[in-house]
Structure 1
Amino acid sequence: MSTAFYSLRRWGRRPFIRVAAFSVGGVVAALASAVFAPMIPLELGASIGSDAVDQILSVLATSMLPVATFSLSTIVQAYGGATSTVTPRAVTLLMQDTRAQTAVASFIGAFVYSVVGLIALKTHFYGSQGRVILFGITLLVLISVVATLVRWIDTLSHLGRVGETIDAIEAAASDAVRRRV
């Protein structure tokens, strides 16, 4: 049982898994506004225009893809630096760093959310009540992106450094010894 859990955990640390999960979450969040629209009173729906949501989603869509691209290029440079300064095997541990994966995945997920939200908004998929929910979810996504950016800046200051890489190797070795015992 522990071998199966270990294999599943190891498979779950692949970068594409987290990116796919955040992207699917972005699509679900964008489309959930239409599902939960009947819960919003009509008066409240009339108070938020589509322009307010449209502009925020446009800013998210135009900014998240470059941020994700920059983040990926920074990660690749950190991996290259770790390969040349520590050991090529350490790159495998760095690639399993959940902080970096979560940052990139949340940027891509926010991009997917904003694009799906814009498409649905422009095709009048949401009614006035759905726009209220979309506006609320968009504000939550925006807060999440800002929080992720703050954490990502801290992560970037340590990513690929020799000391951080050695700490990751030490933690992986300690986990392996604990599992073996």
Structure 2
Amino acid sequence: MNQNILFALNRLKEKLWLRPLIFCVLSVFGALLASIADSNSHLNEIVPKIKTESLEQLLSTISGSMLVISIFAVGSMISAFSAASNTATPRSFKLITADDVSQNALSVFIGSFIYSIVAMVALKNGYYGKAGHFILFLFTLLFFALVIVTFLRWVERISKLGRMGHTIKLVEDATTNAIKMRLKFPTLNGIAINPNQEKGMAIYSDTAAYVQQINISKLQKNAETLDAIITVNAIPGSFATLDKPLFYILLKSTVSEIPDSKELKKAFTMGDMRYFDEDPRFGLITLSEIASRALSPAVNDPGTAIQIIGSYVRLFSLWDKTSADKDPDRDIYDRIAVPEISIDDLFIDAFRPISRDGAGNIEVMIRLQKAFSSISIIDNIDLKKASLLHSQEAFARAKLEMKYEIDLEVLRKESLFT
């Protein structure tokens, strides 16, 4: 799927109102659709007669209970969102609100309530005939079954939603998807930057904001029109400022028109928030924030930091599958040069906060050194260099914090540089 469309769909997915609205529309349509069965004379003859009183009682039961359950569901979701922000990090909030099971449950509960109200009004005004009564009865039973199954699934999910382990998994999964995308398209389907090539004229952002997404295909069309090469300087996740070039444009022909920078800037989606979709660093930073909070004296939960170190090992192990995941058949935008993501930056985002905040904890530091050893065996020269460097830095930090010589000696033996 086109990355621009996928980005827009992911933003819609985070909206709590979207699925309930869709389900409400379908519920109203379903309640009114039952009357179509009355136009089939053969169906009127073969279906059993359903008493109006029984339908009214069923619909009254749904309308009386679904509104209460919907309010309860919203309250439980708000509590889960608050727990995730308070115990993990506010940066995980978007992932919690996008939870499919919770959104589906809220949609079913509200939709069932709307369905029962519309069906009840239509029923009392004689909107349905014999066949319509029967179809409405089947629809109502279907709604009952759907509500029961949804409620059971939702109860199981709400028991996990907002909990530390579940939040870490959500962030790790989102980061995994972002890393896989960047490994598959390291230059976002553009070309690699040639350090020896002139960059051209610098174009600056009009505002200080995060780059959330880049429409590479739009940049390519503009570059073809201008007969130019565009070099992206701010990839998704970068904080663009008034003094930092957003991109460079090099006109290949002296007769080319002066580019309209405003039109070119429209290819960059800017905002005050970062998203996980195309920004692997944001996922690593979010995990490191959770680990730092867990290692704070007020929380003192080294187990969570150790769990996140395990997540980092899994995430960096994705580089071991780089060659298999690359897609050589995708179109290359040959006029757009895009920098690859820096391994050094990823390591700083992931490991520096833990090595700083956990420097005095022998269990955390041993697990950190083991993580560097595991990552260093991956066939990637940048990963090997970064693992060695951060192993040395982590030990140096521990040496300043740990007073017990035996702990330091144990840590030295586990370190990658020994």
TM norm structure 2:
0.42
* CA RMSD, Structure 1 to Structure 2 (Å): 1.4
Question: Which runs of structure 2 are paired with 1:58-137 in the superposition (5 Å)?
Answer: 58-137=60-139
The answer (yes or no) to whether the contact 1:37–1:133 under 8 Å persists in 2 is no
Q: Distance in 1 between matches of 2:33 and 2:14?
A: 27
The reply to whether residue 30 of structure 1 matches residue 31 of structure 2 is yes
Q: Distance in 2 between matches of 1:178 and 1:65?
A: 42
**Number of residue equivalences:** 181
Moved more, 114-123 or 44-53: 44-53
Moved more, 103-112 or 30-39: 30-39
**2:253 matched to which residue of 1?**
none
Q: Deviations over 1:11-39 (max 9, x none)?
A: 13421110001100110110010122223
Q: What is the aligned-residue identity percentage?
A: 34
Moved more, 1-10 or 52-61: 1-10
More strand as a share of residues = 2
The answer (yes or no) to whether the contact 2:50–2:134 under 8 Å persists in 1 is yes
Residue 44 of structure 1 deviates from its aligned partner by 4.8
Q: Secondary structure at the match of 1:152?
A: helix
Residue 102 of structure 1 deviates from its aligned partner by 0.3
Residue 43 of structure 1 deviates from its aligned partner by 4.0
**2:17 matched to which residue of 1?**
16
Moved more, 31-40 or 59-68: 31-40
Q: Distance in 2 between matches of 1:162 and 1:10?
A: 24
**2:408 matched to which residue of 1?**
none
The residue identity in structure 2 corresponding to 1:85 is T
Q: Distance in 1 between matches of 2:45 and 2:175?
A: 60
Q: Which runs of 5+ in 2 are unaligned?
A: 184-418
More helix as a share of residues = 1
The residue identity in structure 2 corresponding to 1:119 is V
Q: Distance in 2 between matches of 1:135 and 1:104?
A: 23
Q: Deviations over 1:111-157 (max 9, x none)?
A: 01001000100111111221111001101111100110111111121
The residue identity in structure 2 corresponding to 1:74 is S
The residue identity in structure 1 corresponding to 2:25 is V
Q: Which runs of 5+ in 1 are unaligned?
A: none
The residue identity in structure 2 corresponding to 1:139 is L
The residue identity in structure 2 corresponding to 1:64 is M
TM norm structure 1:
0.94
